[in-house]
Structure 1
């Protein structure tokens, strides 16, 4: 059935970027329709209660915020609170047969003492200070460009204004900079992990995928800080949905887009709701889905999926576990990012094992406890009883490892991952887990194959495809596909009327709203 309604913009997908685009366009007086396949908006940035009888609202897929610009929060009038974590990270270790670890936080003196206890001198702490002062200067200069027209490589290099920093982050494999600055294996690993979140690469990968991933993890807000969204990640997208509706956008959930027809002047979007298909017209279609999904909607041969490589585990605990390291309390260690199996050599071993087609023998992972910073996600009785949520994010687990036996491989990896964590605890984690209404442990694990099925992320890739640096090839920007405005903002497709507004756009990835903002600016001709 053809619906003769015509919109200025139809947005495909109600994840956070689609909601940002809807809010901007509707706020500018455009007639906007947003279509979301699932029964709620939010995409991968949602909060759910996955355990029956347990009142814990977990950030099910994405869980922290760094890249969301204050500019977007202010311009859209978002009612949103982000809290800074006092602890950045804790990394357990065994040195000379004793349990110890590295605690990095806002207290510079305590951080220095932790480095000295671990390494026996202040050299690594001084190197840490120098290295992150360098990334901080890059962050101050790069982050503001993410919501500006896309610079070319030379313009961004000039903006950075630091030849050594540019080479370390943009030109040479990240492993070279890590090895030049740091000597301790554990410290090297802590630094490298920011280049491996959801990205399957080695420290010296010639593609520099790890460099692009690292950059996006250290530039957020111009500081690189990662903050806790009060109320969980769903509070972020609920605020965005309210802003879009308040501006006049029409949001329809349970409406699956099944086709797009477009030329350089107009477009039509066909969607299915229950058993009925309808088609609406649009001046612009903004696609908050992967480039691979867009090709399928256009009826084209899709590009190969660029697989994701992460393992997400959600848990609820009756109490935090004791640590093997007596120098730090669990409430400090788990308040930041708790690194497991992420020494530099251990990360390389895990990468090589996974690249050879096997699960890592000592799976590396990162853990944090949302409820230590924001207890509002727990129901009153659970919070009063000292319950906590725990999120684990595993590295070097590409989708290919799960293709033949997703369920069995998931269970084997979960067991190995929790066993690796137990090596650094003073008691088994299993003794601390809460149980749901049926008496089952409150543990939920998601593989890349699960994310592909549930969220249509190609290969489970949380970034939709490999991340790229936040600059344009000058020739492509001047004469590439799509309209000049779309190229200028890094959201072009090969059709003038279709724009990318999701993580697959240039400067996409992470919960940022940046691609949604930039696609809206292109659609408005700004």
Structure 2
């Protein structure tokens, strides 16, 4: 290992690897330091259950915001596969068990599903009108994510002003309530504003609007795709590209401090051979801003609060549904559980008061229906499947007193919510590991902080920001800058961060490369 590098990257998650690949391709000597035994951060595939040959996307699980341009630029050997179903929502109404289906692409079956639920075509027409408008906004914003920041006012001038006002300037709940009448349809729309974000739909901070926007602008389409081979395949492709370009990747390296003065910098870490330090021209922080503050010796900042429950399951077979719909079709997309608009708002009020929601909203995703390669051939032949449950409105405060007990009760309630729509006991379908235990794993915000180092368990490293400059002073910058010129944020905490996107890594690399050109 050299004594000096052009760039040292703290954190070997997907954004750090993205930055490393771009910088090394440009000829800069680049060192990546990762505290865990493997790169990837939250974008990993792991064998979760003892004796079971299934590699689950343990934390993050779908890809939308990763631009096709990054995949092409870095020559990533990566397949992102479309799901045949966008979403399915089981509904119990007037003594009937129904299912609201949104196919991909939408077709006559989708229209009929809306009609069966609501009794007319009005909600489906409102749906297509709304998402058509959102699509026009995405087409304008998406190309700017890999460019220097433009102002919000310049973007507003390029889109319908009324649409901009309702999605960007006013609480999203107003638009949803004005455009849609059905409680279930409203809820399906609202969920994209709440993944990893703890807010009511009328929150004046508009953090729900920002989350909604990010969920719907990826590559101009907003489609969430399945990484073939699991999230670890994304990391592996990026790590390969970084190494191929000449970057050095060091694992089991726990960074202890970062120093930067605008001209020179140094990073100190603990490794297997003790404490080491290296000097460099730039430091890129692929850690949360709160973590970077600690590494710089700055204390007293407020830790972000994550708000989700992640439950991984392995099933010996998909369960039958009370609606009678084919589970292989229903679980092929995002399966919404108790996410009516009123249920979402009620759960938020309870959680904000520090009370675990009695009926917690959540959604389910089955990776193996789209990509069975994460399972061994024998498991595939036997009909096994993975399920990932993402519970919303589970802020860290609910787990502060007794994480273990609150986790167990949260899992019980979430699984009970799923089972209420099933025609058979869920436990009959859950596989058992080599020790005879049910294949169920749960992660609270505290668990996520402990395992992958995200402060407060916040999956976005903090509240998402608008993906543009909010004033003229920020225009032309890359949204990765800190108070020191040679210290940059390259992770989810950068402007235009969040989710598995590579945006923070790309934009931090461009901050350096454009400054040197």
1:343-362, aligned counterparts within 5 Å? 343-362=340-359
Q: Residues of 2 paired with 1:464 and 1:476: CA distance?
A: 24
Change (3 A) 1:34 1:4: closer
Q: Deviations over 1:211-250 (max 9, x none)?
A: 0000000111101110000000000110000000000000
2:83 aligned partner: 85
Q: Residues of 2 paired with 1:299 and 1:429: CA distance?
A: 49
2:404 aligned to 404, 407, 417, which one? Answer: 407
1:429-508, aligned counterparts within 5 Å? 429-474=426-471, 476-477=473-474, 488-508=477-497
* Matched-pair contact (CA < 8 Å) for 1:501–1:516: yes
* Matched-pair contact (CA < 8 Å) for 2:53–2:375: yes
1:127 aligned partner: 126
- For residue 428 of structure 1, report the CA deviation from its aligned partner: 1.4
* Matched-pair contact (CA < 8 Å) for 2:151–2:472: no
- For residue 306 of structure 1, report the CA deviation from its aligned partner: 1.8
Q: Residues of 2 paired with 1:118 and 1:477: CA distance?
A: 47
- For residue 168 of structure 1, report the CA deviation from its aligned partner: 1.4
Q: Which runs of 5+ in 1 are unaligned?
A: 479-486
- For residue 429 of structure 1, report the CA deviation from its aligned partner: 1.0
- For residue 302 of structure 1, report the CA deviation from its aligned partner: 4.7
1:227-242, aligned counterparts within 5 Å? 227-242=225-240
* Matched-pair contact (CA < 8 Å) for 2:310–2:390: yes
Which moves more between the two structures, 334-343 or 469-478? 469-478
1:173-212, aligned counterparts within 5 Å? 173-212=171-210
1:375 aligned partner: 372
In the alignment, structure 1 residue 518 sits paired with structure 2 residue 507: yes
* Matched-pair contact (CA < 8 Å) for 1:296–1:302: no
1:154 aligned partner: 153
SS in 2 for 1:29: coil
Q: Deviations over 1:397-444 (max 9, x none)?
A: 000111110000000000011011111111111110000000000000
Q: Deviations over 1:1-41 (max 9, x none)?
A: xx871100000000000000000000000000000000000
1:484 aligned partner: none
2:70 aligned partner: 72
- For residue 261 of structure 1, report the CA deviation from its aligned partner: 1.1
Q: Residues of 2 paired with 1:38 and 1:355: CA distance?
A: 34
In the alignment, structure 1 residue 386 sits paired with structure 2 residue 383: yes
Q: Residues of 2 paired with 1:249 and 1:275: CA distance?
A: 21
SS in 1 for 2:3: strand
1:12 aligned partner: 10
Q: Which runs of 5+ in 2 are unaligned?
A: none
Q: Deviations over 1:136-191 (max 9, x none)?
A: 111111111000001112122223x2101111111000000101110000000000
Change (3 A) 1:91 1:410: same
RMSD: 1.1
SS in 2 for 1:315: strand
Change (3 A) 1:95 1:202: same
* Matched-pair contact (CA < 8 Å) for 2:366–2:386: yes
Q: Residues of 1 paired with 2:81 and 2:186: CA distance?
A: 27
SS in 2 for 1:525: helix
> How many pairs align?
514
* Matched-pair contact (CA < 8 Å) for 1:361–1:416: yes
1:243 aligned to 241, 244, 265, which one? Answer: 241
2:98 aligned partner: 100
1:281-320, aligned counterparts within 5 Å? 281-320=279-318
1:276 aligned partner: 274
* Matched-pair contact (CA < 8 Å) for 1:502–1:515: yes
* Matched-pair contact (CA < 8 Å) for 2:315–2:386: yes
SS in 2 for 1:349: helix
* Matched-pair contact (CA < 8 Å) for 1:88–1:336: yes
* Matched-pair contact (CA < 8 Å) for 2:491–2:505: yes
* Matched-pair contact (CA < 8 Å) for 1:285–1:498: yes
SS in 2 for 1:524: helix
Q: Residues of 1 paired with 2:426 and 2:163: CA distance?
A: 41
1:338 aligned partner: 335
Q: Which runs of 4+ in 1 moved over 6 A?
A: none
- For residue 475 of structure 1, report the CA deviation from its aligned partner: 5.0
* Matched-pair contact (CA < 8 Å) for 1:42–1:234: yes
SS in 1 for 2:192: helix
SS in 2 for 1:301: coil
- TM superposition score normalised by structure 2: 0.98
